[in-house]
Amino acid sequence: MLVWRMTYKNIINRVIVEVSCKAQKIIYLIFTIILTTTASFSQQQKIPKSSDFYHTYKKEGDIIRVYDVDKNLVREVYLGKGIAYNIYNKDILLTHMQNRFFLKEPIINSCKTKEYLYTGVDCKYFIQTDEGAGYTKKYKIDTYGFKKLVFSSSIYDNEPSPPLLSDKEMEKIDKEQDSLARLQPKVNYRIEEKHNNDVFKYTTYKNDKKEIEYIIKFNGENLVSNVYLLFIIDGGTPQERYDISIQKAFYDQEKNLIKIKEWTSKNYNQFKDVIQDKGEEFFIDEVFKNPEKCFNLDLFLTTEYVYNKDCLLIEKKSIYHSYNNEITKVVYDYDIKKRLVKSTTFFDDIIQKQDVFSYD
């Protein structure tokens, strides 16, 4: 009887151990699945048809983070709040200087620019335009936190698409273009980039002739503080050949852009002489420190940005000094959730346009 009791006890213990082991395995399996799911969910995933700028994304709850090809964070989307932040700094600009250079993207920006994810806009014009009294647009927010246009009464969004061509017609056009290209002189483009501490120089050459030159200076916050831009047009008089723009930026403590001053000139010789006599380093220091005192320049434009205590942009004012100091002003209004609900555009204090924004 004692032997049987001991055997029975051993059997019970063995069953308990086996059940315990199975329970541990189940718990371990569940834990592994949770970790794997969480890791895969929070990993950066490729955006379909992505660009080098908006390349991958990562979603955590209602927050979407978008990264460029170099894994720089370029955009943060807060779906619950209906806002997105477009991020801007030295690393991002230099990564995309070549493929964004010819786009109409401003070189100077705040550290974070707020974008509102409204789903509707009603525009009303107070002046005569091609679109009459205004238009209505509707948007949806896609998987990656971008606004996508789904409806528009704007004539510019509803222009008829050109008719589709057949394969034979396309082949004929391609052959004609190839024939014309062979008759044209070959054009070689070359790009030079120089980076020295806080100054970046970007130059393009066409058949070894300088065509465009950017010199950009960054401040201690890795934001653009100064820009020198030179366009050289092939042909024409010296006054027509050169187009020079110099910009100086000012920021507040929150790294918000508060002012940009822009000067222009067509007299390239005054810059060229300083570079030849005293060197490029001296020229860059002078042109960025006190450009209006060191060179003969025309003050072209001053743009001012005003924020409230919540760092919301409430006014943008542009003064065109070369056009009798004409002023364009945009005033922004927000709701209790700090979302943009209205923007009103004035020209010399006369209302021109008003946009009303709505959210789902």
**pLDDT tens for the chain, residues 1 to 360:** 433 344 444 544 554 445 455 555 555 555 454 444 444 445 889 999 888 889 999 999 999 999 999 999 999 999 999 999 999 999 998 888 876 554 456 789 999 999 999 999 999 999 888 777 899 999 999 999 999 999 999 888 877 767 777 778 888 888 888 887 777 777 788 888 888 889 999 998 988 888 889 999 999 999 999 999 999 987 767 667 899 999 999 999 999 999 999 999 999 999 999 999 999 999 999 899 889 888 999 999 999 999 999 999 999 999 999 899 999 999 999 999 999 999 999 999 999 999 999 998
Q: How far apart are CA 145 and CA 332, in angstroms?
A: 23
So what's the pLDDT on residue 319?
A: 98
So what's the pLDDT on residue 256?
A: 97
Among 305, 350, 359, smallest CA distance to 332 is for 305
Label residues 73-87 b or e (16+ Cβ within 10 Å = b): ebbbbeeeebbbbbb
> CA 225 from chain center: how many Å?
17
- Report CA dihedral (310, 315, 320, 326) to the nearest 10 degrees: -160
340 burial type by CB count under 10 A (0-12 exposed, 13-18 middle, 19+ buried)? buried
The letter for the amino acid at 87 is I
Q: How many CA atoms lie within 13 A of 332 on its CB side?
A: 18
Helix axis angle, 280-289 relative to 269-278, nearest 10°?
130
Sign for the pseudo-dihedral over CA of 79, 82, 87, 93: positive
So what's the pLDDT on residue 25?
A: 52
Q: How far apart are CA 358 and CA 267, in angstroms?
A: 49
